[in-house]
Amino acid sequence: MPAFNLTDLGKVRSERFGEENAAQERDIQPQFTVSNLNFYYGKFQALHQINMQMPTKKVTALIGPSGCGKSTFLRILNRMSEMTPDTRVEGEVLLGDQDLFAFYPTYLRQRLGMVFQRPTPFPKSIFENVAYGLRVNNLLPSKQIAERVEESLLRAALWHEVKDKLHVSALSLSGGQQQRLCIARALAVRPEVLLLDEPCSALDPLATAKIEDLIFDLKDFCTIVIVTHNMLQAARVADYIGFFLSGRLIEFDKATRMFINPSQKETEDYLTGRFG
């Protein structure tokens, strides 16, 4: 399987399609550079030789059928995978130009926010939920916390719904609101990257639409990696798409290109609904 190099891709594209932003994209350092990544649960190899470069401040969607390793891959990026016993990583991942595995995990996780499949509000007030990351890491003097909480809730498009009840338990919110609260909570520490693990799979279509709008707006602040098994969602929100199948990255490309003209047979089969 060829390793896709964005810089080369950019060149090819600019020659072939004359895209304006290709040159500009070439100069930006990738957010993640993954080389020859293998991952094992005990003896079972869950990921095989993953190579990719994820662009900065773009939305990258990881798609593929259940059990293809896309969530596992996401959990490696903020090293949450290490919490599962008896697992092993091989290969290299760079965050910017730094070795991901050389970070102190709790420090790394401040730079990479994560939102999970089901909303996970803490049994605390709405305010304290958003302030949590700031408090446990002592990131801000307490006077500035209120300001940051408001900013985060505004960015997560939740402020107007909760501004009058910040001290009410977060568990009283609806599922969609709870999920946006979790996004606000992740944004409060101003992460470089937001990792979203099927963030809408437990939500109804209206709540899903709100989150998708939000993802679109958040691109200005951080790089977003979203795992989804909903292809329409990937098409709606993603700039880049990585297609996983049986632990391998089959294809990684611009969303527009992948949906119009996938280069791999498996991708085409999956996208046209022939399996998965």
Contacts with other proteins, residue ranges (CB under 8 A): 78, 80, 83, 106-107, 109-110, 112-114, 116-124, 132-133, 136-137, 169, 171, 178, 182, 185-186, 189
Q: How far is the CB of 243 from other proteins (least distance, A)?
A: 25
Most distant CA atoms of the chain, gap in Å: 56
Q: Which helix (H) or strand (E) holds 242?
A: strand 240-245
Angle at CA 151, nearest 5°, toward 147 and 153? Answer: 115
Q: Which amino acid is at 191?
A: P
Q: How far is the CB of 132 from other proteins (least distance, A)?
A: 6
Q: How far is the CB of 253 from other proteins (least distance, A)?
A: 28
Q: How far is the CB of 2 from other proteins (least distance, A)?
A: 33
Residue 204 backbone dihedrals phi, psi, to 5 degrees: -80, 170
Q: How far is the CB of 26 from other proteins (least distance, A)?
A: 32
Nearer residue to other proteins within complex by CB, 8 or 204: 204
CB atoms within 10 A of CB 103: 17
Q: What gap in Å lies between CA 272 and CA 100, rounded to an integer? A: 36
Nearer residue to other proteins within complex by CB, 83 or 260: 83
Tell me which long-range contacts 235-238 makes (C-beta under 8 A, separation of at least 24).
235/259, 236/212, 237/59, 237/61, 237/212, 238/59, 238/60, 238/61
Q: What gap in Å lies between CA 218 and CA 213, rounded to an integer? A: 9
Nearer residue to other proteins within complex by CB, 21 or 165: 165
Q: How far is the CB of 175 from other proteins (least distance, A)?
A: 10
Nearer residue to other proteins within complex by CB, 186 or 250: 186
Nearer residue to other proteins within complex by CB, 41 or 259: 41
Nearer residue to other proteins within complex by CB, 38 or 169: 169
